């Protein structure tokens, strides 16, 4: 059963709303390190001793380098667990958002340029400003898309004087201010 364009657009708005309501999140994982310590007289070096219990640590990548941090308290560990769980939720919502948009792109008729202009303008805002909030706010109808003079290399749409940013690979002359 194929979904209607209207139902997909409603689903997209719902996903945007869920994305906007996410709390603090960060990528990474919590791993345990344990085993034997460096003290040769410690019980962990005795034969048959399982060693020390795991010490949980937060591990993530920063600038391409793995970084591991110890937790100062159990509360800090619980906070990190919540943030990582929220990041996983973000990943799920992001994948669903892309999937819904791909379906919309396949279903939307070629003649319907207004929605295309809005979506492309929103992506231009996100690129120009450097974040997802403007994109979410524009697609959700909270903010208006930029005008042509606000996006380098953009051309005006025929509907409502909206802006279409240049396509990837277009040769765009840099705008000198």
Whether 89 is covered by a domain: the verdict is yes
For residues 149 and 131, membership in a common domain is answered with yes
For residues 9 and 96, membership in a common domain is answered with yes
For residues 85 and 130, membership in a common domain is answered with no
| CA 34 remoteness from chain centre | 33
* Residue 70 DSSP SS3: strand
Number of domains in the chain: 2
For residues 79 and 121, membership in a common domain is answered with no
Are 68 and 58 within 8 A, CB to CB?
yes
In the chain, which residues have pLDDT < 70? 1-2, 112-177
At 117 the pLDDT is 54
Give the count of beta carbons closer than 10 Å to the beta carbon of residue 154.
22
For residues 77 and 139, membership in a common domain is answered with no
Whether 45 is covered by a domain: the verdict is no
Give the count of beta carbons closer than 10 Å to the beta carbon of residue 4.
9
At 92 the pLDDT is 96
At 109 the pLDDT is 80
At 131 the pLDDT is 53
- Smallest CA-to-CA distance from 80 within 91, 68, 92 is with 68
- 30 forms beta bridges with 58
Domain that holds residue 71: 1-18+67-108
At 154 the pLDDT is 52
At 126 the pLDDT is 52
Long-range contacts of 7-15 (CB under 8 A, 24+ apart): 8/100, 8/103, 8/104, 8/107, 9/104, 11/100, 12/97, 12/100, 12/101, 12/104, 12/139, 13/139, 13/140, 15/93, 15/96, 15/97, 15/100
At 47 the pLDDT is 87
């Amino acid at each position: 059963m194929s979904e209607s364009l209207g139902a997909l657009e409603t689903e997209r708005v719902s996903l945007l709303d869920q994305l906007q309501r996410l709390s603090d999140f960060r990528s990474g994982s919590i791993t345990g390190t344990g085993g034997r310590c460096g003290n040769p007289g410690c019980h962990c070096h005795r034969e048959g001793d399982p060693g020390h219990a795991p010490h949980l640590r937060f591990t993530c990548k920063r600038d391409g380098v793995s970084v591991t941090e110890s937790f100062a308290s159990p509360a800090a560990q619980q906070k990190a667990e919540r943030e990582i769980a929220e990041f996983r939720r973000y990943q799920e919502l992001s994948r669903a958002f892309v999937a819904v948009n791909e379906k919309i792109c396949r279903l939307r008729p070629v003649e319907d340029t207004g929605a295309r202009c809005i979506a492309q303008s929103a992506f231009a805002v996100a690129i120009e400003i450097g974040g997802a909030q403007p994109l979410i706010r524009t697609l959700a109808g909270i903010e208006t898309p930029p005008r042509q003079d606000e996006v380098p290399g953009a051309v005006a749409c025929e509907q409502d004087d909206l802006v279409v940013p240049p396509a990837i690979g277009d040769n765009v002359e840099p705008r000198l201010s």
